Amino acid sequence: MLSGAWRWLSPVGLLLLWQIASGTGILSEDKLASPTKVLAAGIDLATSGQLGDAFVVSLRRVLLGVAVGAVIALALGLTAGLSRWGAVLVDPPVQMLRTLPFLGLIPLFIIWFGIGEEPKIALVALGFAFPLYLNVYAGIRDTDPQLLEATAVLGFTRWERLLHVVLPAALPQALVGLRQGLGVAWLSLIVGEQINADAGLGYLINNARDFLRTDQVVVGLVVYAGLGLATDALVRALERKALRWRNTP
């Protein structure tokens, strides 16, 4: 089977084609700068500190949004998952809200939060919270009743059952929710940063657009993509560590 290094053949080939198309003028720089130009712009933005500053601002928005969203999703998910009344009271409204296209809430968010950091963070929080809530709730509810029964006979206290049965049972599903949620969080950030941003990666991209700097636009996109990949790798590492009981040799 062909694998390993050969998998890079076509991506590198495409990059070469792109470079050739730019070099021969088939692809004008106003539409899309060449890979080497993008690389140069990247180095430029990085050394001037602009890229680093934008990166920090955007990362902060995501981290805050994810933190807020996690608190909300875990609180609601645990309430709905662990108590009958919690499920009755919490789940229906959340399921209804879920059907709203949440990016359509931007106008409301601007009215509520203005155009500063808050609507961007709120958008990330909202986008992140739904997948996490749904998966935490489902994970808790799917706890094997046979295990609960067995541990009841074994004299586990309620707290021990929560700690050693329910929460670990829900963890794999919760981690799926975390991964889905982070994917939505990055999208929310990109959309949110279109709102009147004066800093961050979205601002950097919009600014570049105004000057037709397609090289800088692509640099911004590459950084977005890199951040998405990095968080995904982070969650995978977390999964491997937290779910190592599943990786039977």
Positions touching another protein (CB under 8 A) are 146-147, 149-157, 160, 164-165, 168-169, 171, 243-246, 248-249
User: Is the Cβ of residue 159 or residue 211 nearer to another protein in the bound state?
Assistant: 159
Instruction: Say if residues 185 and 62 touch (Cβ distance below 8 Å).
Output: yes
User: Is the Cβ of residue 63 or residue 163 nearer to another protein in the bound state?
Assistant: 163
User: Is the Cβ of residue 31 or residue 246 nearer to another protein in the bound state?
Assistant: 246
Q: How far is the CB of 147 from another protein (least distance, A)?
A: 6
User: Which residues touch 225 (CB under 8 Å, ≥6 apart)?
Assistant: none
Cα 100 to Cα 81: distance, rounded to the nearest angstrom? 23
Q: How far is the CB of 152 from another protein (least distance, A)?
A: 7
User: Is the Cβ of residue 75 or residue 147 nearer to another protein in the bound state?
Assistant: 147
Q: How far is the CB of 141 from another protein (least distance, A)?
A: 18
User: Is the Cβ of residue 59 or residue 162 nearer to another protein in the bound state?
Assistant: 162
Q: How far is the CB of 247 from another protein (least distance, A)?
A: 9
User: Is the Cβ of residue 84 or residue 246 nearer to another protein in the bound state?
Assistant: 246
Q: How far is the CB of 238 from another protein (least distance, A)?
A: 15
Give backbone dihedrals phi and psi of 75, rounded to 5 degrees, phi first.
-60, -50
Q: How far is the CB of 135 from another protein (least distance, A)?
A: 17
